[in-house]
Amino acid sequence: MTAAAVIRHLQFADLPNGTRLHYASAGEPGKPLMLFVHGFPEFWYEWEAQLAEFGQTHYAVAPDLRGFNLSSKPAEVDAYKPRHIVEDLVQLIGVLGYQRAIVVAHDWGGAICWNLALQHPALVERLVIVNSPHPYLFAQALAHDPAQQAASAYMNWLRKPGSEQALAADNFAMLEAMLTGKGAQPAPWFAGETRAKYHAAWSQPGAAGSHPLTGGVNFYRASPMHPPQPGEAAPDVSRLNPDDFVVRVPTLVIWGERDTALPKSLVEGLDRFVPGMRLERIPEGTHWVIHEQPERINRLIRGFLS
């Protein structure tokens, strides 16, 4: 069995747009680039098992997105609009010396990388999405599906002033509950050194004295995607042209079907928008299936690449 690749971190990429992204990597530059993109409330460490595996054959890179951990944390909410995060990834691929990447993404990272593949298909050699809904299907569900609106009500709570302070209270009790299941037994993966690393990432200073968690929460505040508030009309999604949302790169979608915020109904009709798709369902997996079954995730990705 091949030894796991050594992971290096405390590396920084200074992008032409002024953003500074911290990243971890495994493997050697010059090998094909694999870019691993985390979600909320995570950071590069979400992909530790994948870096160790794919650094054996690729140059595996996992950045902290802007607003998270050791990367730049702009103060303005508008700095977190999806187009700016997409541009960070476009520029990161170039700064690393590449013209294309295999892109693997989860949660908010997936939302960004669906858009990356739609807007810059030449940059994306292959796309792997884990529990992150396609933007057209998610927009439709948020507008018309009461069950999805209820499941996504937390997004409106996160958009409110002060949500970051509430998330951090009592030693990050609410953030821990997000990761381990509300009121359930602690998740086995979130313990010991891993828990300490997350607490350290959540404690990294914000911009100009702002709260450490403001950058991550600003992804929700800057996004047009959220369910209508009580008494508010649903967003008008009739102007969206479905043909504009067809992904033209080979794509693997992995879905933990016990995800309570992003239920498995979100993959219904996905083949209409991703004609080159392979769908792998994990019935017992939650939203955090990457942590729960890292070896299985690695096998699925490896099979897709080969």
- pLDDT at residue number 233: 81
- pLDDT at residue number 207: 85
- pLDDT at residue number 1: 52
- pLDDT at residue number 126: 98
- pLDDT at residue number 184: 52
Mean per-residue pLDDT, 246-269 = 96
CA-nearest of 71, 69, 105, 76 to 88 is: 71
Domain around 287? 7-305
pLDDT band at 301 (very low <50, low <70, confident <90, very high): very high
pLDDT band at 253 (very low <50, low <70, confident <90, very high): very high
Q: Which of 22, 226, 287, 291 is catalytic?
A: 287
C-alpha span between 101 and 31 (Å, rounded): 11
183: pLDDT strictly greater than 60: no
214: pLDDT strictly greater than 80: yes
Would you call 198 a catalytic residue per the annotation? no
291: pLDDT strictly greater than 70: yes
Q: Which of 220, 226, 259, 291 is catalytic?
A: 220
Region label for 97, one of left (φ > 0), alpha (ψ between -120 and 50) or beta (otherwise): left
| Phi, psi values for residue 202, rounded to 5° | -70, -15
pLDDT tens digits, one per residue of 2-19:
789 999 999 999 999 999
In a domain, 1, yes or no: no
Taking the whole predicted model, whether its pTM rises above 0.75 is answered as: yes
- pLDDT at residue number 176: 94
pLDDT band at 182 (very low <50, low <70, confident <90, very high): low
- pLDDT at residue number 208: 82
pLDDT band at 195 (very low <50, low <70, confident <90, very high): very high
Mean per-residue pLDDT, 38-57 = 98
- Residue 286: exposed, middle, or buried by beta-carbon count in 10 A (0-12, 13-18, 19+)? buried
pLDDT tens digits, one per residue of 141-162:
999 999 999 999 999 999 999 9
pLDDT tens digits, one per residue of 56-115:
999 999 999 999 999 999 999 999 999 999 999 999 999 999 999 999 999 999 999 999
- pLDDT at residue number 280: 98
Mean pLDDT of the chain: 95
In a domain, 79, yes or no: yes
Q: Which of 64, 107, 145, 259 is catalytic?
A: 107
Q: How many domains, the chain? A: 1
pLDDT tens digits, one per residue of 132-143:
999 999 999 999
In a domain, 254, yes or no: yes
Structure tokens belonging to residue 95: 């700064």
C-alpha span between 153 and 97 (Å, rounded): 41
C-alpha span between 73 and 54 (Å, rounded): 29
In a domain, 96, yes or no: yes
In a domain, 126, yes or no: yes
Would you call 220 a catalytic residue per the annotation? yes
Q: What is the DSSP letter of 279?
A: E
In a domain, 2, yes or no: no
For position 246, which CATH number holds? 3.40.50.1820
Q: Any idea which of 75-89, 143-157, 188-202, 220-234 has the lowest mean pLDDT?
A: 220-234
